[in-house]
């Protein structure tokens, strides 16, 4: 079984935000004061599992658990354990996680035992003070400890770094060297205009085509065929052991190769990160409708998956996306 959208793109990748809550408040992701959802609005772990079952039986073979911060969700490892068992008798091949890493030292071993072999850790700087500033109150050491614990447990780590104007632009080579010493691939991400934050988006955004040019002069980057299932374009260099990825939703659109959809923690299926349309599954899942109906709705959602996002950042306009990144995860 394959899920094909209206533009004939094969969709085999589901990202699920298991909570909108987070133990950090990264300035480009959230406002300082956020209203989080009451518990009854958030899907239970059983409801998430049922949605996953339907997607898997329609051809999804990769699931990413995200948030908010997925590791703050109580009993999240129980869901991961149940999903992991499905690899034995369904088409599901991989479960991965995107995390800020603050709780990784506590969870790394359990995650590995439950089939998580690769984790994306979001880390925008390796400077303690700057880390504290960008996350509003985070402690860098917690993340570093988490990364070390994950490596100790044979989990492959990739670092994701949002490049933020006048903040980490000038220290990207430090991050590259740090990752290179630890043998961890690194991906740079453009700020996306996901709703408003406390600072206008145009004061945050760095076009990564320009960053690429600068880094290319230093590292002589060679385009790589390496893929991890996401939108990053990877590059190798004779000066580096690691690959450098670039996620460029604004300066180099990648929507023609989109293979994924996202479910929010309340059960809204967003067919495109950069559009507002969604199909709501929570009421369906909480009614006495059966799985056949859920599958029909999933197919319908795919039939209206937008062709592309239209992200635009300038000082004149406010973001047209009316949700922050923690609603759907990265
Ligand atoms: N809390 C987890 C974390 O930080 O990895 C998972 C959720 S977080 C929303 C997922 C990814 O989205 C992170 O790498 C984060 O840096 C990125 N992100 C958040 N807001 C963003 C924005 N407006 N534009 C681009 N990336 C963003
Ligand atoms: Fe939390 Fe991740 Fe958003 Fe930072 S990027 S506030 S860690 S959800």
How is 209-259 classified by DSSP, letter by letter?
Answer: HHHHHHHHHHH--EE-----SSSPEEEE-TT-SS-EEEE-TTTS--GGG--
Q: Token pair for residue 39?
A: 């518990």
Average pLDDT, whole number, for the chain? 96
Gap between the Cα atoms of 232 and 227, Å rounded:
8
Residue whose Cα lies nearest atom 20 of ligand 1: it is 29
Gap between the Cα atoms of 80 and 323, Å rounded:
26
Q: Cα 309 to the chain's mean position, in Å?
A: 16
Rounded average pLDDT over 209-225: 97
Q: What is the largest CA-CA distance in the chain?
A: 60
279 pLDDT more than 80 = yes
Q: Is 66 in the pocket of ligand 1 (CB under 6 A)?
A: yes
DSSP state of 60: -
Q: Is 29 in the pocket of ligand 1 (CB under 6 A)?
A: yes
Q: Which residue has the tokens 């500033």?
A: 133
pLDDT band at 317 (very low <50, low <70, confident <90, very high): confident
pTM over cut 0.95 = yes
Q: Is 72 in the pocket of ligand 1 (CB under 6 A)?
A: no
pLDDT digits (tens, 9 = 90+) for 23-51: 999 999 999 999 999 999 999 999 999 99
Q: Tell me the torsion sign for CA atoms 111, 117, 122, 127.
A: positive
Q: Are the C-beta atoms of 229 and 247 separated by less than 8 Å?
A: no
pLDDT digits (tens, 9 = 90+) for 44-91: 999 999 999 999 999 999 999 999 999 999 999 999 999 999 999 999
Query: Quick one: which of 38, 9, 6, 4 has its CA closest to 21?
Result: 38
Q: Token pair for residue 51?
A: 């949605």
Q: Token pair for residue 2?
A: 């394959």
Gap between the Cα atoms of 271 and 275, Å rounded:
8
Q: Is 22 in the pocket of ligand 1 (CB under 6 A)?
A: yes
Atom of ligand 2 nearest to the CA of 30: 6
Q: Is 102 in the pocket of ligand 1 (CB under 6 A)?
A: no
Within 6 A (CB) of ligand 2 lie 22, 24-26, 29-30, 67-69, 100, 122, 325-326
Rounded average pLDDT over 143-152: 98
Cβ of 132: how many Cβ atoms within 10 Å?
14
| Ligand 2 mutation pick, 17, 20, 25, 66, max ligand atoms within 8 A of CB | 25
Q: Is 326 in the pocket of ligand 1 (CB under 6 A)?
A: yes
Residue 102: is it exposed, middle or buried by C-beta count within 10 angstroms (0-12/13-18/19+)? Answer: buried
| Ligand 2 mutation pick, 19, 68, 164, 167, max ligand atoms within 8 A of CB | 68
Q: How far is the CA of 123 from the centre of ligand 1 (A)?
A: 10
């Amino acid at each position: 079984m394959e899920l094909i959208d209206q533009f004939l793109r094969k969709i085999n990748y589901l990202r699920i935000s298991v909570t909108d809550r987070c133990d950090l408040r990264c300035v480009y992701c959230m406002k300082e004061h956020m209203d989080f959802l009451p518990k009854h609005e958030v899907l239970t772990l059983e409801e998430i599992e049922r949605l996953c079952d339907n997607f898997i039986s329609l051809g999804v073979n990769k699931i990413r658990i995200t948030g908010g911060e997925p590791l703050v969700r109580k009993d999240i490892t129980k869901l991961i354990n149940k999903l992991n068992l499905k690899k034995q008798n369904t088409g599901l091949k991989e479960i991965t996680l995107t995390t800020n890493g603050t709780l990784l030292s506590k969870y790394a071993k359990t995650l590995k035992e439950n089939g998580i072999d690769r984790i994306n850790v979001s880390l925008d700087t390796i400077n303690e003070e700057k880390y504290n500033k960008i996350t509003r109150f985070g402690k860098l050491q917690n993340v570093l400890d988490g990364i070390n614990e994950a490596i100790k447990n044979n989990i492959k780590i990739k670092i994701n770094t949002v490049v933020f104007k006048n903040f980490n632009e000038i220290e990207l080579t430090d991050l590259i060297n740090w990752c290179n010493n630890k043998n961890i691939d690194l991906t740079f991400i453009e700020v996306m205009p996901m709703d408003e934050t406390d600072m206008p988006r145009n004061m945050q955004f760095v076009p990564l085509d320009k960053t690429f040019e600068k880094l290319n002069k230093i590292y002589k980057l060679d385009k790589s065929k390496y893929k991890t299932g996401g939108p990053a374009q990877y590059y190798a260099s004779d000066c580096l052991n690691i690959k450098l990825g670039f996620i460029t939703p604004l300066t180099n659109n990648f929507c023609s190769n989109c293979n994924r959809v996202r479910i929010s923690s309340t059960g809204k299926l967003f067919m495109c990160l950069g559009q507002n349309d969604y199909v709501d599954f929570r009421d369906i899942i909480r009614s006495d409708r059966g799985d056949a109906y859920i599958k029909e709705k999933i197919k319908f959602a795919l039939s209206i998956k937008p062709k592309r996002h239209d992200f635009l950042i300038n000082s004149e306009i406010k973001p047209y996306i009316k949700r922050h990144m923690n609603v759907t995860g990265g």
